[in-house]
């Protein structure tokens, strides 16, 4: 009986936003431009400044590139939909958007865990850091993060492609993702739901716990250091890192583990916007542009372009390896 009214869907109608609202267009455009400029600035600085050619900034450059991809998967289509009277996306386009969105989400979860371990190794095991985080290890770790995200996304996209839809395919969302597709489907959704719950543990919760444990061990190590200023800096930076990481992991897990009862399209839209649109904008501000070494590289680049004046007062300061790691946490 359920199969009698199933039709072959060629496109979906996205109902997450009211259309023709200039405020929404300007808001998302500003967020997207800030995301692009901030992450492109990090990529340019890491590429051009030899002082930033180390594991920490290698991973930060991957995070910046990942965040550019993350935002570009959804925001341009959202901007187009806000302007048009009817927001639609083709069936193939919807699955493609879902694949790249979930690939970026899975890769970012793994990359945040790798970055936390990199800082742990630099501060807690400084004598072994060069060997622990060698160029080969960093390359394999970064490639593993991207591959992990793509494999996880491929499973979800393949399962979603087996779903059937009855009548008009309306998605109460601003972009294509697994949860709105599940709510619109009229076929058996249990395999997709089971895969999402399993992924939330292995792809989402496990890296989050790893990040928390790594930062707790970092703080424990910093507490034993005699430099009070470094202690204050570490607590300040760790709290900022953990705030953004928590925002990302919590909202992502809420999105993929939201119960069907009590579902609110508005709440779902806000949660999705936080983890896949707002977080990519915050990452360069929290992880990179607050960093003293990045600030010095930016000042050096601006001086080279004739925009900045004399060098900063910290140009000649030499720190021990573990102290330098704390300063660049």
Domain locations in the chain?
A: 10-327
Q: What is the pLDDT of residue 7?
A: 57
Mean predicted confidence (pLDDT) in 63-85: 89
Give 98-121 as a DSSP string. Answer: HHHHHHHHHHHHHHHHHHHHHHHH
Mean pLDDT over each residue of the chain, to the nearest integer: 81
Sign of the C-alpha dihedral computed for residues 254, 288, 328 and 235 taken in this order: negative
Q: What whole-number distance in Å separates Cα of residue 203 and Cα of residue 314?
A: 40
pLDDT (0 to 100) of residue 3: 47
Helix (H, G, I), strand (E, B) or coil at 7: strand
Check whether 295 has a pLDDT greater than 70: yes
Q: pLDDT digit string (tens) for 127-164?
A: 888 899 999 999 999 999 999 999 999 999 999 998 88
Give the pLDDT score at 2.
45
What top-level class would CATH report for the domain 10-327? mainly alpha
Distance CA 244, CA 262 (A): 27
Rg (CA), the chain: 22
pLDDT band at 311 (very low <50, low <70, confident <90, very high): very low
How crowded is the C-beta side of 281, counted as CA atoms within 13 Å? 16
- Pick the more confident residue, 260 or 14: 14
pLDDT for 282 beyond 80: yes
Confidence (pLDDT) at 17: 67
Q: Is the pLDDT score of 228 beyond 60?
A: no
C-alpha to C-alpha distance for 251 and 243, rounded to whole angstroms: 12
Q: What is the mean pLDDT of residues 200-209?
A: 88
pLDDT tens digit sequence for 178-197: 888 888 888 888 888 888 88
Tell me: pLDDT of 263 over 50: yes
Segment of 241-245, 257-261, 324-328 carrying the highest mean pLDDT: 241-245
The CB density around residue 288, as the number of other CB atoms within 10 Å, is 26
Report the length, in residues, of the chain.
Answer: 329
Q: Which two tokens stand for residue 316?
A: 């000649």
What is the mean pLDDT of the segment spanning 299-324? Answer: 52
Average pLDDT (87-91) is: 86
Tell me which H or E stretch contains 270: helix 265-273
User: CA angle at residue 249 from 244 to 252, to 5 degrees?
Assistant: 120
Q: Supply the pTM of this predicted model.
A: 0.84
- 325 within 8 A of 125, measured Cβ to Cβ: no
Residue-level pLDDT at 31: 93
Predicted confidence at residue 9, as pLDDT, reads: 77
Q: Is 166 helix (H, G, I), strand (E, B) or coil?
A: strand
Higher-confidence position of 232 and 150: 150
Q: What pLDDT, on a 0 to 100 scale, did the predictor assign at position 262? A: 56
Q: Select the more confidently predicted residue: 72 or 307.
A: 72
Instruction: Single out the residue of 139, 28, 153 nearest to residue 95, CA to CA.
Output: 153
| Ramachandran category for residue 136: left, alpha or beta (phi over 0 → left; psi -120 to 50 → alpha) | alpha
pLDDT of residue 189: 86
pLDDT of residue 325: 53
Helix (H, G, I), strand (E, B) or coil at 281: helix
């Amino acid at each position: 009986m359920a199969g009698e009214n199933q039709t072959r869907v060629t496109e979906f109608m996205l109902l997450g936003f009211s259309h023709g609202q200039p405020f929404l267009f300007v808001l998302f455009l500003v967020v997207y431009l800030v995301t692009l400029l901030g992450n492109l600035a990090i990529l340019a600085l890491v590429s051009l400044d030899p002082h930033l050619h180390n594991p920490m900034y290698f991973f930060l450059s991957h995070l910046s590139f990942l965040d550019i991809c993350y935002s570009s998967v959804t925001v341009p289509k959202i901007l187009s939909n806000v302007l048009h009277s009817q927001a639609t996306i083709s069936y193939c386009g919807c699955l493609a958007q879902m694949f790249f969105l979930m690939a970026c989400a899975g890769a970012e979860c793994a990359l945040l865990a790798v970055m936390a371990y990199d800082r742990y190794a630099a501060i807690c095991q400084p004598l072994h850091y060069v060997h622990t985080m060698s160029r080969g290890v960093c390359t394999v770790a970064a490639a593993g993060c991207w591959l992990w995200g793509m494999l996880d996304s491929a499973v979800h996209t393949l399962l979603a492609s087996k779903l059937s839809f009855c009548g008009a395919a309306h998605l109460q969302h601003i972009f294509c993702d697994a949860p709105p597709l599940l709510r619109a489907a009229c076929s058996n959704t249990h395999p997709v739901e089971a895969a999402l719950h399993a992924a939330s543990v292995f792809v989402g919760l496990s890296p989050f716990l790893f990040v928390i444990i790594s930062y707790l061990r970092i703080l424990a190590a910093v507490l034993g250091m005699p430099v009070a200023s470094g202690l204050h800096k570490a607590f300040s930076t760790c709290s900022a890192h953990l705030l953004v990481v928590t925002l990302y992991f919590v909202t992502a897990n809420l999105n993929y583990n939201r119960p069907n009862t009590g579902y609110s399209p508005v709440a779902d839209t806000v949660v999705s916007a936080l983890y896949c649109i707002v977080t990519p904008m915050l990452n360069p501000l929290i992880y990179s542009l607050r960093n003293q070494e990045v600030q010095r590289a930016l000042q050096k680049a601006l001086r080279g372009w004739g925009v900045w004046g004399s060098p900063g007062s910290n140009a000649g300061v030499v720190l021990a390896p573990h102290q330098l790691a704390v300063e660049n946490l």
